[in-house]
Structure 1
Amino acid sequence: MVSLKAVEPSLIPPDTDPSELDNIIASYYYSCKEVTPYCPVEATTLGYRPNLGINIFFAVMFGLSAVTTLYFGIKKKTWGYMGFIAAGCALEMAGYASRVPLHSNPWNKHAFETQIVAIILAPTLICISIYLTLKHVCLALNPSLSPVKPQRYPYIFVPLDVSCLLVQAVGGALAAGGALKDFKLVSHGNRAIVAGIVLQVVVLGGFGGVVGVYWWRMSKWIKTEQASTETLALWKDKRFRMFVYAVTAAYSGILIRCIYRIAEMAGGWGNHIMQDEPSFIVLEGFMVLIPCVLLASFPPGLLFPQMAARMSGPGTREMSGTVDAQSQAEPKIGASKVQAASAEHSLGEIQGNVGLANPR
């Protein structure tokens, strides 16, 4: 995958079919191994030498985020949440580590292909963990206010997210396969990648809409007399709110990144947006790094123990969800049973005292 810059006319064979010109130019540049007068940096897909320092920084920070996520995830047994974030951070680390050798040789094809695949696909994995949090927040607060049964959220958003991943992977495979043989395949692959990212933005938008509806309902319900003491305590808990704010900021960062990626990929390989390194650093690099750092630094195992308890094992997870739902749906019934038991106990004590006071 290279940028189709104008090539010297003397290098083009005579009587060349104009329809094959793109393939000829692509094949010519794809054969470049290093920067030369005939293989300039400007003819690469990126059009620049990636900044060495910032890419080392990104690789190190993503690596630290992966290690931190694994530490708290293993310690608190939040397996699913931990696994997807750690995998996403590891992919990002591999992607930015692959950009390091591109600084010395922008024509390093293996490094370029590794970084483009890893950096495009990694945020999709991180999104899965963000989607999982909604189920547990609803179960812990009030599942009856959720637009959809909380247990169904993973079955809705995770398959959609995986679909985004598959569409982008297919696009990457088409683009890589057509680099030497057929430049039209590269264009088709680019369209598939854009379609996958657009689908991801739609899914993220739908998820944000569901969260907004639930949060609006909760903010109204929590002020009523129906709200239990436990729910009020969790709603006002600073640690829980820190976790929610961290996940919200992570969601916002990845959404911004995906919108940027649509604009970047829409113009095809080597367009002016793709060749602008500052915008890539800010809108791609930091918009994914910040979510990874936040999700690693504010783990549910420390800030949202209800979620950690459900994720620590199948039995615990199902039982906790059932208890939460029952506690929200039947607060008055439970209280009535306690009051009845207390009244019965008191009546027994009174009858016993009467018997002692009036012996036969």
Structure 2
Amino acid sequence: MGLEQYFPPGTDEDTIQEAISKYYYSCTEVTPTCPVENTALGYFPNKGINVFFAIGYFLAMVTALVLGIRTKTWSYTGFLAAGCALEAAGYAARVPLSINPWNKHAFETQIIAIILGPTLVCVSIYLTLKHVCLALNPALSRVRPQRYPFIFVPLDLSCLLIQAIGGALAASGALTNMRVVQHGNRCIISGIVLQMLVLGFFGTVAGEYFVRTAKWIQSGQADAEVVELWKNKKFRMFTYAVGGAYSGILIRCIYRTIEMAGGWGNHIMQDEPSFIVLEGFMVLIPFILLAIFSPGYFFPQMAARMSARKGRGTSDSEKHAGSPPAESEKPGGHHNTTTSGDETSPASETLVVEPASVKTEA
């Protein structure tokens, strides 16, 4: 960093780096002795693009809340709106950094908010698989559809917790202990890598289910209503939106893993164009897609299940949700899905055999 020359010969490298870090942490504004190049970002963030992102996430949040509250898709909307709020706060915090990159509170806010925001929106993505399986053919799923949230959501929240711990360690150790900062950085990387692995697992499971469903429908064994839903334009748009959101978040996680692996202030972290494209737009686009293509309007079956829990208690059929599927629920047979919409209990979904078609409880 240019200050090593002021230390006596033979001084331990860790001691030098910690002393230099403490010195720069004491900087409060850009000066000849506290140049912008020695901030973690290494540049003055572009004010206009960060205002654009903050407004974009705010509008996505409002859209998600308005459409979600109208259609009572509480879980999906709640996580999506919370993610939007974090992202909006993060990019709003980058605006004062465009004036003073040494603004510590703004820097810590944008780091924590922008890192954690995508983790919350992943929950909304994970919830869709359960409802798609229930609407098409639950028997084709390798796992009972109602259990998907209990596999992916805890894993995703674990990613959130690990990254939050990492951010707290990095912030608390920045003034006194560089080793704590390094441990915090490793926690953040671990959380992002875990999130990337969970996304990969989800993509594999969802992709395999869609392949099996497509083959089943092409075989001519599917009911007319299932075929109609499969070909429904709005349903296809919803699945494309979720697929696009999933792809954007996955690309962002790969970028973040590479960026954070180099440590604070590395050349990737100090490259604003890559941040704008691979972090900013790769997360904003998924939020906009999930907010606009609300399941309440593009996938009513999902909205009906999610809202039904508000008006129902535990039914007798729910008490038997753990029983093995009936013979008629196997691929090729007729089936029906009746659900409570509850995302918080594995017993909240049950398969009820009826003779003709797939119906959704309103």
TM category, shorter: 0.7 to 0.9
Structure 2 CA distance for aligned equivalents of residues 15 and 239 of structure 1 = 69
Within-5 A mapping of 1:328-343 = 331=334, 334-335=354-355
Of the three residues 68, 75, 93, the one matched with 1:73 is 68
Q: How much does 1:6 deviate? A: 2.4
Deviates more, 1:221-230 or 1:134-143: 221-230
Q: Find the counterpart in structure 2 of residue 106 from structure 1.
A: 101
Q: Find the counterpart in structure 1 of residue 230 from structure 2.
A: 235
Q: Do structure 1's residue 312 and structure 2's residue 315 form an aligned pair?
A: no
Q: Do structure 1's residue 262 and structure 2's residue 265 form an aligned pair?
A: no
Structure 2 CA distance for aligned equivalents of residues 289 and 132 of structure 1 = 20
Q: Which has the higher helix share?
A: 1
Change (3 A) 1:267 1:56: same
CA contact (8 A) 1:222 1:232 kept: yes
Structure 1 CA distance for aligned equivalents of residues 129 and 278 of structure 2 = 26
Q: How much does 1:109 deviate? A: 0.2
Q: How much does 1:100 deviate? A: 0.2
Structure 1: tracts of 5 or more residues without a match = 337-360
Q: How much does 1:98 deviate? A: 0.2
Give the structure with higher Rg (CA). Answer: 1
Change (3 A) 1:59 1:124: same
Q: Do structure 1's residue 146 and structure 2's residue 141 form an aligned pair?
A: yes
CA contact (8 A) 1:41 1:106 kept: yes
Q: Deviations over 1:129-186 (max 9, x none)?
A: 0000000000000000011110000000000000101111111111111111110111
Q: How much does 1:92 deviate? A: 0.3
Q: Percent identity?
A: 66
Q: Do structure 1's residue 200 and structure 2's residue 203 form an aligned pair?
A: no
Q: Do structure 1's residue 297 and structure 2's residue 292 form an aligned pair?
A: yes
Q: Do structure 1's residue 117 and structure 2's residue 112 form an aligned pair?
A: yes
Structure 2 CA distance for aligned equivalents of residues 16 and 290 of structure 1 = 49
Change (3 A) 1:317 1:250: farther
Q: Find the counterpart in structure 2 of residue 281 from structure 1.
A: 276
User: Aligned letter for 1:110?
Assistant: H
Change (3 A) 1:8 1:195: closer
SS in 2 for 1:147: coil
Of the three residues 9, 30, 51, the one matched with 2:5 is 9
RMSD: 2.2
Q: How much does 1:192 deviate? A: 0.9
Structure 2 CA distance for aligned equivalents of residues 191 and 147 of structure 1 = 34
Q: How much does 1:225 deviate? A: 3.3
Of the three residues 159, 163, 166, the one matched with 1:168 is 163
Q: Do structure 1's residue 23 and structure 2's residue 11 form an aligned pair?
A: no
CA contact (8 A) 1:309 1:316 kept: no
Of the three residues 32, 38, 44, the one matched with 1:43 is 38
Structure 2 CA distance for aligned equivalents of residues 331 and 209 of structure 1 = 27
CA contact (8 A) 1:50 1:102 kept: yes
Structure 2 CA distance for aligned equivalents of residues 16 and 284 of structure 1 = 39
CA contact (8 A) 2:21 2:175 kept: yes
SS in 2 for 1:32: coil
Structure 2 CA distance for aligned equivalents of residues 71 and 120 of structure 1 = 25
Q: How much does 1:229 deviate? A: 1.0
CA contact (8 A) 2:4 2:16 kept: no
TM-score, normalized by length of structure 2? 0.86
* Shift >2 Å, 4+ stretches: 5-10, 12-19, 315-322, 325-336
CA contact (8 A) 2:165 2:184 kept: yes
Q: Do structure 1's residue 223 and structure 2's residue 223 form an aligned pair?
A: no
Structure 2 CA distance for aligned equivalents of residues 226 and 111 of structure 1 = 58
Q: How much does 1:14 deviate? A: 8.7
How many correspondences in the alignment?
A: 329
User: Aligned letter for 1:7?
Assistant: L
SS in 2 for 1:278: helix
Structure 1 CA distance for aligned equivalents of residues 177 and 17 of structure 2 = 9
SS in 2 for 1:71: helix
